[in-house]
Chains A and B, each alone.
Chain A
C-alpha cells in the first residue's frame, strides 16, 4: 500500500515535469494545420518539421554557436574557478571572507540589472556581435557559483594531503593539476554541467549581444523563427527545434548523472 502510494506520487511528479517536453515532441511530429488541434498521443509521425527547421534558417550553425559558447564558458569558468578556489580555500590573505561573500553576492543580481553594464563592457572590449562576448558574459554570471562550490570543496580536503605533496616536491602547478584537479573532479563535473546548461539556455544576453542569424545561439534562433507571413508563427519548426536542442542536455545529464550526484553530495560526507 505504501509502495503503491510512493509510486503514484513519483509518477505524478514525473508527469508534471515531463509533460511540456512530451507535448513539444508530439506537436513537432504533426504537419500543417494539425498543429492547432489538441492531441495527447502522436497521431502521425511526420518528420518534415525537423527537415524544415534546418533548411529555413541556419539552425545547424546556431547549434554550433551554442556548443562553442557553452563549451567555451565551461572551460573558462573551470580554469578560472579552480585557480580562484585554490586561492580562496587555501591561501591566507586579508579580506578573504569578505571577498568570498562579494563573489556570492555578484551572482545574486538579476540579469537585467547588469545588462547595460555588460553591454558597455562587451562593446568596450570590441566583442560586440561575436561569440566571445557571450562567453565573457556567461563566465561572469556562472563563475561566482563555480568558485563558491569549488572553494567549499577545497576547504573540505585535508590540508595534510597537500602538505604531503609539498614534501614530495610538488609546486603550485603540480598541486593544482595532479592533486586538486583529480580530487575535485566530481565537483567540477557538476558545476561544469550547470554552467553548460545555463549557457545553453540563456536568452537575454544572447539576444542583446548578437546581430545576425549567423551569430545567434539556439534559444534566440528559436524565438526569432518566422513563418510565411508576419502574422504566422511556425509552431512545427519551433517545436522541432526545441526538441533537437534539448536532447544534448538530456544526454549530458545521463552521462554525468553519477558524477553529478556524487559531486553535489560528496562534500557532505568525509571519505
Chain B
C-alpha cells in the first residue's frame, strides 16, 4: 500500500505537450478519480503511474520509491483496461494466474490465490472458460481479478465500466466502491461519467489541456469551483454562465468588484410568482424533475431545474427567482471571486 506523488511531470508526444506540469499527491488508500474532456491527458497520466509511458520531465513516486524509470512490473501497480485486454488464448484461470506465474510464485500458492480472488468476484464457476465464452460483465470481473491477485500497492482503472450496459455499470460501480472500502488500497480511476466520478471519488481531479484545474472532495468542487472550467464541467445540466451585467435579479451589492461572469446552477433557480421575467423555450422531462430552458428578455438562455409536477408550457411567460448566496462569481481570467453556497 502506498500513495502516489507527481512532481512537475511533463509529457510530450513528439512536439505536442500533452501534460504541462502536474503536481499532485494521492494519499495512501485514497480513491482518486480523474475527469476531464476527451484528450485532456487522463489516460496518459494513468499510464505514467503504470509505467507504460515515461515522463518527459519531472518525477513520479509510489510510496517511498521514486519510480520515474522503473519498469511497469516492478512498480507494484495493477491496471484494469477499458477493453479488459484479457489474453484470448488462455482460460480464465490462466489469465488470472499469468502474472504470478511470471513472478515464479509457487504452484500451490498460485492456486490458492487464484481461487480466493475468483471466489471473491464470484467467477469461480468460470475458471475453465476462454474469454470469448464470457459476457461483458464477466470479462470485467476477470480483468479485475487479474489485477487484484497480484496484491498491488496501487490500482489503476481506465474507464473500466464504459463497455457495460447502464444497469451493470451501476452495479459494478457499487462493487468497486465496496472493494475499495474492504481492501483500503489506493485506487486511481479515470472516467467520463460524472456520476461515477462524484460517487466513487474521495478526491476528484479535474484535468484540462494537460493541467490540473482543481483537485478536492467532489462536493467542494461542485459547490466551490475554482474557475470557470470546473464550474462548467461538473454538473448536469451545466451551470448557467452569464455575463455579470445580465439582469437576473441580483442586488447590485451582491456583485463583487471585478466580477466578469456569474454562474448559477439550474437547481439554484426557482420558478416563482415574482422575480425576473422570461419566456419558456423548451421543457425536458427527466422523470423526477424537469429542465426548463428559458430565454431572458434579451434572448440569453438559462436552464432551471424544476421539481413540481406542473411544468409551464413552451411559450409561457414566467418569472424566476435566485438566492444570491448560491451564485458564483468569476473574474475576467475565469478565476473564482467568491460566492456560492458554503460546504456543509
Contacts and interface: CB of A to CB of B under 8 A. Distances in A.
B81 A160 contact: yes
A247 to B, nearest CB: 33
B87 A166 contact: no
Interface residues of A, number: 16
Interface centre among A164, A169, A170, A182 (most CB of B within 10 A): A164
Interface string A158-176: 1011011111111000100
Interface in A6-24: none
Interface centre among A163, A165, A168 (most CB of B within 10 A): A168
B72 A165 contact: no
Nearest to A179: B87
Interface stretch (B97-105, B116-124, B191-199, B329-337): B97-105
A9 to B, nearest CB: 36
Interface string B86-119: 1111000000001100110000000000000000
B251 to A, nearest CB: 56
Interface in A150-202: 158, 160-161, 163-170, 174, 179, 182-183
B78 interface: yes
A166 B88 contact: no
Interface in B137-159: 146, 150
Contacts of B86: 161, 164
Contacts of A169: 73, 99, 102-103
B146 to A, nearest CB: 8
Contacts of A166: 52, 72-73
Main secondary structure of the interface of A (DSSP, over half): helix
Given A166-B52, A166-B73, A167-B72, A161 B85 contact: yes
B214 interface: no
Given A160-B85, A182-B89, A183-B89, A165 B98 contact: yes
Interface centre among B50, B73, B82, B103 (most CB of A within 10 A): B73
Interface string A217-243: 000000000000000000000000000
Nearest to B73: A169
Contact of B85 (A158, A170, A271): A158
Q: How extensive is the interface on chain B, given as a class?
A: 20 to 34
B9 to A, nearest CB: 20
Nearest to A169: B73
A183 B89 CA distance: 7
A157 B103 CA distance: 25
Contacts of A168: 73, 98-99, 102, 146, 150
A166 B150 CA distance: 13
Interface centre among A158, A163, A183, A271 (most CB of B within 10 A): A163
A58 to B, nearest CB: 44
Given A169-B73, A271-B132, A164 B87 contact: yes
A170 B102 contact: yes
B252 to A, nearest CB: 57
A165 B103 contact: no
Nearest to A162: B85
B228 interface: no
Nearest to A182: B89
Contacts of B102: 168-170, 174
Contacts of B88: 161, 183, 271
Contacts of B89: 182-183
A158 B83 CA distance: 9
Contacts of A161: 85-88
Nearest to B158: A160
A74 B295 CA distance: 74
Interface in A238-271: 271
A92 to B, nearest CB: 11
Contacts of B81: 160, 163-164
Interface string B156-185: 000000000000000000000000000000
Contacts of B45: none
A261 B242 CA distance: 63
Nearest to A157: B88
B79 A167 contact: yes
B77 interface: yes
A195 to B, nearest CB: 23
Contacts of B85: 158, 160-161, 163-164
A161 B81 CA distance: 9
26 contacts: A160-B81, A160-B82, A160-B85, A161-B85, A163-B52, A163-B79, A163-B81, A164-B87, A165-B87, A165-B98, A166-B73, A167-B51, A167-B52, A167-B72, A167-B77, A167-B78, A167-B79, A168-B99, A168-B102, A169-B73, A169-B103, A174-B102, A182-B89, A183-B88, A271-B88, A271-B132
Interface of A: 158, 160-161, 163-170, 174, 179, 182-183, 271
Interface of B: 50-52, 72-73, 77-79, 81-83, 85-89, 98-99, 102-103, 132, 146, 150
Given A164-B79, A164-B146, 11 more contacts: A160-B81, A161-B85, A163-B52, A165-B87, A165-B98, A166-B52, A167-B77, A167-B99, A168-B98, A169-B102, A182-B89
- Which 8 A-B pairs have CB atoms at the shortest separation, nearest pair first? A168-B99, A169-B73, A160-B85, A169-B102, A164-B85, A182-B89, A160-B81, A161-B85
